[in-house]
Structure 1
């Protein structure tokens, strides 16, 4: 029975001129989750990452620990939803100053309106289209795995929460509720068996307990 490990990217540079890059904490988070996967002695036959800088750099850091940096491939279908576009269309735009808390407070109602709008949204990507592309990307990863092989995917909280919800039959709950709890460099594990995919664990973060608790972030 093979497994797919979904890793949320390290902390981005919230409040900086360029958001899509890892913060100092984000780099350290990647090293910690890399060490955790190495401790578990997990081998990966397949690795994917979205094309966002924060996703790619997290993948590079983690896979460097595993000696598997060469196996990863970029796939834009693993990119996060476009939060700035959703805030512009269904909210009041990015708040100033753009702290993690203020962005989340503004984004929550905007995401709910985006979901409710369905295909009837001026956003570049609708909620149904978002769900379709990430499910398609996940299905493709599963299809590439031979019996007993594992895959790792570096993506974002909205993607992971939505897929977790999808496997439970509630993708909108996954986006609006579960994704809010997704930690940077948390681990979500899916198991592929004869009956399809099963959500085995969501948002594992024991590797950030104890002395590493200072690195618990959500952005």
Structure 2
């Protein structure tokens, strides 16, 4: 059976000067997931990541938990997150009155992110951003096609980001753009979604699973940033 496990990166460094790196908790989430895979004797024919630091670090943490000595992975830029910093910045330049007073609090940021994504999707941002919504959708589709075309009969671990995962599921399930924005907000750090695939189609088997965090002692480790 051809299958891939699509993992969102561990908690990144929200509120720091460099978001694109795992927090200490993000590393721990990744290692716990690797330990879970080891307990279940899960083996992978390849590990594919986006080209962001938080993707590679998550894959490294999973490998540490699995007991694998590996730090190089197959990369595909289609798995990268959209540049949400640029999208939000463009939105706030247009609507400066919505600037949150506490930039370290993720909750108001996520509210603004959803509004900014909607403006971006509808091509309503006056300031330029690195890619259009359509370009984002296309490159995520290219990442799925890369997997389908090159890994028939294989079992893969794929590490990406919440927005790219939500867009991948649009390709697979056929839902609308509004659902992409909603799903993006729901994907848990280090969560696992399972897909089975052939060169002709991809099917969802499970979504947003966190068996490695399903413990009372780890309830505080469930994060979304």
Q: Same fold (TM over 0.5)?
A: yes
Q: List alignment gaps of at least 5 residues for structure 1.
A: none
8 Å contact from structure 2 (residues 117, 181) kept in 1 = yes
2:193 to 176, 188, 191: 188
Q: Equivalent residue for 2:79?
A: 78
Match of 2:121 among 115, 120, 123: 115
| SS of aligned partner of 1:183 | coil
Aligned residues: 218
SS at match of 2:220: helix
Hey, what's the Cα distance between the residues in 1 that align with 2:43 and 2:202? 19
**1:132 is aligned to 2:145:** no
State the partner residue of 1:163. 168
Q: 1:200 to 1:120 in 2, by over 3 A?
A: farther
Which ranges of structure 2 fall in alignment gaps of 5 or more residues? none
Q: How does 1:20-59 map to 2 (within 5 A)?
A: 20-59=20-59
1:79-112 Cα offsets, whole Å, 9 max, x none, are 1010111112234477442322121011011101
The answer on 1:89 being equivalent to 2:123 is no
Q: Which residue of 1 aligns with 2:223?
A: 217
Task: Report deviation, 1:203.
Answer: 0.5
Give deviations 1:115-157, integer Å, cap 9, x for gaps: 122999832100110011011012101221132x111111101
Query: Aligned-pair distance for 1:175?
Result: 2.1
- Contact 1:12/1:23 (<8 A) preserved: yes
Conserved 8 A contact 2:165-2:184:
yes
**1:71 positional shift:** 6.0
1:118–1:166 Cα change, 3 Å: farther
Aligned to 2:210: 205
State whether residues 114 and 121 of structure 1, in contact with CA within 8 Å, keep that contact through their aligned partners in structure 2: no
Kept after mapping to 2: 8 A contact 1:79/1:155: yes
Contact kept in structure 2, 1:118 and 1:128, CA below 8 Å? no
Q: Hey, what does 1:4 align to over in structure 2?
A: 4
CA RMSD of aligned residues (A): 2.2
Tell whether the 8 Å contact from 1:134 to 1:159 is kept in structure 2 after alignment: yes
Distance 1:197 1:190 in 2: 7
Provide the TM-score with structure 2 as the length reference: 0.88
